[in-house]
Amino acid sequence: MSPTLHLHVEVVGREPGPDVPTFVLLHGFGGSLFSWRTWVPELSRRGHVVLVDLKGFGKADRPEDDAYGPEDQAALVSEMIYERGLEHVTLVGHSLGGGVALITAITIRQREPGRIERLVVVAGAAYRQRLPPFTVAARWPGLSGAVVRVLTTRRIVRWVLRSIVYDRSTVTPEQVGGYSDPIDSPNARRALWRAARSIVPPELENWCARYPELDVPALLLWGDHDRVIPLWVGQRLQADLPRGHLHVLEACGHLPAEECPQRSVRVLLDFLDHTDVTEPRCPPSR
């Protein structure tokens, strides 16, 4: 893969083949491929799993530039899919990664309609909305740096995780470490600042107007107590996607794959088992 892609990619599961589905997993803001640890065992038994650390996150590169927005990330993911020759792709994105997945799907399907077969958006960013406090704070490097010096990265991450889940008691030390370790350096925090500053795509309304072009089976998975990407986003996205299906998990916040691992993966597997990717395309509808 070209080193200029700036992504970190890990592959597990079955070898690619004509009858093997490919799952490309995109994490949210401040996350990494660690976020998908509860879903990977099931998906790896079914297909070829491509876990992506987006530019600036996890083990990915953190170059000194300003190309950290969702459109920039989608361009990198699209190029990675082409470079690896991935076919029969199910794009899976959480939070920021959900927005990246939507833009990636639109971009690729304009060029090669058959390459993306399914879309899974988990509490995904899709429309203009109020930014959550931790994203706003990350936009101010001086403030966030001072807070880190006083409170430590682990304590801040623990507070953020406890503020976005439904049941605060479910946040574990392993989870705190999995999110805090990759961002516990000045370089990583600068990358967070760049990503936060660019988190709203300048062409957001144009991308939103193109959601009806995504005539693939789409699972929209939301927690009913999501305080980061509220449920109305999933409801509106279901109306805009011709083959979108919204499933709401009760007593769940912003991290369905981690808060409700058994319930969420059952919904995912049921979606995979009962969607016909050969079904004729539906015309965009409003």
What is the band of 4 on the pLDDT scale with cuts at 50, 70, 90? low
Q: Output the pLDDT for position 146.
A: 41
Bigger pLDDT: 3 vs 11: 11
Mean pLDDT of 43-68: 96
Mean pLDDT, to the nearest integer, of 264-270?
Answer: 98
Average pLDDT over residues 206-218: 97
Write out the H or E segment, with its range, that includes residue 8: strand 8-13
pLDDT in tens, 153-193: 899 899 999 999 999 999 999 999 999 999 999 899 889 98
Find all residues with CB under 8 Å of 186, minimum gap 6, and list them: 145
**Of 225, 50, 15, which is closest to residue 123 (Cα–Cα)?**
225
pLDDT at 282 over 70: no
Using CA atoms, how far apart are residues 53 and 31, in angstroms rounded to an integer? 8
Q: Which residues pair with 12 in a beta bridge?
A: 49
pLDDT band at 283 (very low <50, low <70, confident <90, very high): very low
Identify any residues that bridge with 11 across adjacent strands, giving them in sequence order.
50
pLDDT surpassing 70 at residue 271:
yes
Angle (CA) 76 80 81, round 5°: 120
Query: Is 145 a residue whose pLDDT tops 60?
Result: no
Q: Regarding predicted confidence, which is higher, 192 or 256? A: 256
CATH of domain 3-131+200-273: 3.40.50.1820
User: Which comes out higher in pLDDT, residue 190 or 239?
Assistant: 239
What's the average model confidence in pLDDT over 88-109?
Answer: 98
Alpha-carbon distance of 254 to 186, in angstroms, equals 27
What is the end-to-end Cα distance of the chain in Å, rounded? 40
Banded model confidence at residue 74, pLDDT cuts 50, 70, 90: very high
Is 90 exceeded by the pLDDT of residue 134?
no
Query: For the chain, what is the mean pLDDT?
Result: 91
> What pLDDT is recorded for position 131?
85
- For residue 89, what pLDDT band results from cuts at 50, 70 and 90? very high
Lowest pLDDT segment from 80-84, 108-112, 147-151: 147-151
Q: What is the mean pLDDT of residues 127-137?
A: 80
Query: Is the four-CA dihedral 285, 110, 71, 79 of positive or negative sign?
Result: positive
CB within 8 A of 162, min separation 6: which ones?
168, 171
- Determine contact, residues 100/54, Cβ cutoff 8 Å: yes
CA–CA distance, 271 with 257 (Å, rounded to integer): 15
Q: Answer whether residue 112 shows pLDDT above 90.
A: yes
Q: Is the pLDDT of residue 128 over 90?
A: yes
Closest CA to 192 of 62, 79, 47, 78: 62
State the Cα–Cα distance between residues 32 and 136, nearest whole angstrom.
Answer: 20
What's the average model confidence in pLDDT over 72-86?
A: 97
- Answer whether residue 148 shows pLDDT above 50: no
Percent of the chain scored above 70 by pLDDT? Answer: 90
